[in-house]
Chain A
């Protein structure tokens, strides 16, 4: 009886192990652009913040529960889709003074390393913006994962980083408080 029980436990455990193993293969997620956001926040004169976002984005990421250090994301943003809730300002931000979207229509991020910390971690990658490619580190927070009500499986993260505009060649003077800006990402992926 006791032997039987332990055998059952063993069988159950190995079955579970097999199931975990099967699940742990690298999963590819397509970024759901209607539930993902690339936001920016920059100081206005040091007295407040200007917030905006890029509306046209696409990307995908790979998630591997067994080897989280191989988790990686690639994102692409159309720079002309900048939206700061003011048409004339957006026009200025698209001009040569800032993003120069005619010359640099796309900004990309490509992962080079991921340092897991539980479900969260620090993402390192190359940010190409305004024709300049430079490494950045993004603090990533796991938000949640699970089935959606429509038969799919989703996984979401948020991320934050601070960049210096001039590192990417955008030197238009907006005052000392606006040399750096914060980028905030909310990325929801649909498992493929």
Chain B
């Protein structure tokens, strides 16, 4: 029930998967939007702050998710999947996990490049763990942008692969995570 079985994901894994799916989609939109806002837009301060705050939340969730991954076992791959498909799926998932760590990390390094912390929903401040470093906002920002867009393409591939299994292979893959 809470944990996964050989043929379906458990409640914890599903909660983590779907909450992060929603959160990452929102973060992608908010992040893009933040760079397009003009100075006099009423949302000029709100959107970037919301993006940073939700980004920290996503970082917390990926830590929990990786911890749960150690405890939980994953359902078996589709019986219809070939050896290379299994390997592709495994590396794709590993890469998604890696990006879910690196994207918030690069964002944090960018926002804290002047040694100041990150405001969280206006409630408290996440401290800057590293000292100020001139120019870090540039390379961390570049990395954040590239990794986020790379991640977005990988998510599309992930969704396409799930649909392919469900509707072409008809191996019931979606039922592991839905219903």
Q: Please report A residues at the B interface, Cβ cutoff 8 Å.
A: 55, 80, 83, 85-88, 90-91, 94, 172-175
Q: What would 30 A/B residue contacts be, using CB atoms closer than 8 Å?
A: A55-B134, A80-B138, A83-B134, A85-B114, A86-B114, A86-B116, A87-B110, A87-B111, A87-B112, A87-B113, A87-B116, A87-B132, A87-B136, A87-B137, A88-B110, A88-B111, A88-B113, A88-B114, A88-B137, A90-B137, A91-B110, A91-B137, A91-B138, A172-B39, A173-B38, A173-B39, A173-B40, A174-B39, A175-B39, A175-B40
Give the docked Cα–Cα distance between A85 and B115 (Å): 10
A91:B141 contact, CB within 8 angstroms:
yes
Q: Please report B residues at the A interface, Cβ cutoff 8 Å.
A: 38-40, 110-114, 116, 132, 134, 136-138, 141
Contacts of A90 in B (CB 8 A): 137
Give the docked Cα–Cα distance between A24 and B111 (Å): 53
**Interchain pairs with CB closer than 8 A, number:** 33
Contacts of B38 in A (CB 8 A): 173
Q: A88-B111, A91-B110 are in contact. List 8 more A-B contacts (CB 8 A).
A: A87-B112, A87-B114, A87-B136, A88-B110, A88-B114, A91-B137, A172-B39, A174-B39
**Nearest-neighbor residue (CB-CB) of B112 within chain A:** A87
Contacts of B39 in A (CB 8 A): 172-175
Give the docked Cα–Cα distance between A173 and B39 (Å): 7
Give the docked Cα–Cα distance between A172 and B116 (Å): 26
Give the docked Cα–Cα distance between A87 and B110 (Å): 8
Q: How far is the CB of B5 from chain A (nearest CB, A)?
A: 46
Give the docked Cα–Cα distance between A91 and B138 (Å): 6
Q: How far is the CB of B98 from chain A (nearest CB, A)?
A: 25
Give the docked Cα–Cα distance between A172 and B39 (Å): 8
Contacts of A88 in B (CB 8 A): 110-111, 113-114, 137
Q: How far is the CB of B117 from chain A (nearest CB, A)?
A: 12
Q: How far is the CB of B40 from chain A (nearest CB, A)?
A: 7
Give the docked Cα–Cα distance between A26 and B134 (Å): 39
